[in-house]
Amino acid sequence: MTLNQLSSGDLIADRRAEYAHMLADSGDHAQAADLMTQALELVPDWAAGWFRLAGYEEKSGRKEAAVEALRKVLELNPEDIFGAGLKLALLGGSETPDQPSSLYVAQLFDDYADRFDKALVEKLGYTVPEKLEALISAHTGDMRFADVIDLGCGTGLFGERIREKADRLEGFDLSANMLAKAEDKGLYDHLAQADLSLPPETSGLLAGMPQHRADLVSAADVLMYLGNLESVFAIASRLLSSKGLFAFSVEDADAKGDFVLRPSLRYAHSETYIQGLCNRFGLAILATSKTVIRNDGGKPVLGILFLTRKSV
């Protein structure tokens, strides 16, 4: 789903919105914003239209107008399928949210699923799955895992790396379309939807299944779509067997704070924040690795890989 596919329900408004889109593509964002405003006079309750207007206003340098447009989006669509809350925070119109809207994240990856592997690996130089598996192997050698739980499994890129070491491999993701792609690969013994932003009891990871069953829990390139990570660490703690391993990656905030929201609309986390969470949830850090995890806009994105062991 793209914004251009979301009709206002009014033919004249849709035509003006399309002209606004053409103007924006030509670089005339101020005129695009003016024409989009005219469209919204006809359909004032069109949330997608207000979100488009916010983008045009921001790019034309009218920050306050963009902030007001985003506030209108949230008023009309409090579930925030567009991620307006994240954009509002980046523009200084609100505090950084602890979590993005789950509906926004699910829609983002549902739309991305068909081109995910090609775009991420070939175009963005994504390397987390192989680097995280290498970090695990460096400390476990030829050890096999009775049960591996892949959190935010996506299309199964990490699953491809760990499958041969897992007697049983489970995958969980928020996006139904990503899960469908993972199922097509035939890697997983069990796949299901889950929301890592929720507490363990309501996340979808424990329903009808035993706790403390996993020798290895992974979260490869997942945590950057969450801000506050307490729910994820609580989930991992409930899933891990005694002395089980939790391997995961974050984007490196390189700061003293807990986490920051970046213009990419992804979160970066500080090493100090992760260390504090490990201490709280009884995880001993076995190894860390600072490395480039992908490219974004032609620039390398620095991340931190962690391998931890449940110690309590």
pLDDT of residue 194: 95
pLDDT tens digit sequence for 277-286: 999 999 999 9
Number of independent structural domains in the chain: 2
Cα gap 154→188, rounded to integer Å: 12
> Could you tell me if 79 and 197 lie in one domain?
no
Q: Is residue 39 part of a domain?
A: yes
CATH of the domain at 64: 1.25.40.10
Task: Indicate if the alpha-carbon torsion angle 144, 182, 238, 279 is positive or negative.
Answer: positive
pLDDT of residue 1: 43
Whether the pTM exceeds 0.95: the reply is: no
Residue 297 located in a structural domain: yes
Query: Which residues are CB-neighbours of 48 under 8 A, at least 6 positions away?
Result: 3, 6, 8, 82
Main-chain dihedrals φ then ψ at residue 82, nearest 5 degrees: -90, -10
Do residue 85 and residue 136 come from a single domain?
Answer: no
Q: Which domain holds residue 169?
A: 115-310
Q: What is the pLDDT of residues 212-260, one digit of tens each?
A: 999 999 999 999 999 999 999 999 999 999 999 999 999 999 877 899 9
Question: What's the pLDDT band for 141 if we cut at 50, 70, 90?
Answer: very high
Domain end, chosen from 45, 63, 95, is at: 95
CATH number at residue 249: 3.40.50.150
Tell me, what's the pLDDT at 160?
96
Q: Which residues pair with 294 in a beta bridge?
A: 301
Q: Please state which of the ranges 62-71, 192-201, 291-300 shows the lowest mean pLDDT.
A: 291-300
The residue among 26, 60, 95 that closes a domain is 95
Q: What is the pLDDT of residue 239?
A: 96
Q: Between 7 and 95, name the one with better pLDDT.
A: 95
Residues 179-198: tens digit of each pLDDT: 999 999 999 999 999 999 99
Is 103 part of any domain? no
Which pLDDT band, with edges at 50, 70 and 90, does 171 fall under?
Answer: very high
Poorest-confidence range of 66-80, 115-129, 146-160, 268-282? 115-129
Measure the N-to-C terminal CA separation of the chain; round to a whole number of Å.
45
Calculate the average pLDDT of the chain.
93
Same domain, 7 and 150: no
Query: What pLDDT, on a 0 to 100 scale, did the predictor assign at position 8?
Result: 86
* Residue 105 domain-assigned (yes or no): no
In this prediction, residue 193 carries a pLDDT of 95
Question: At which residue do the structure tokens 């993972």 appear?
Answer: 182
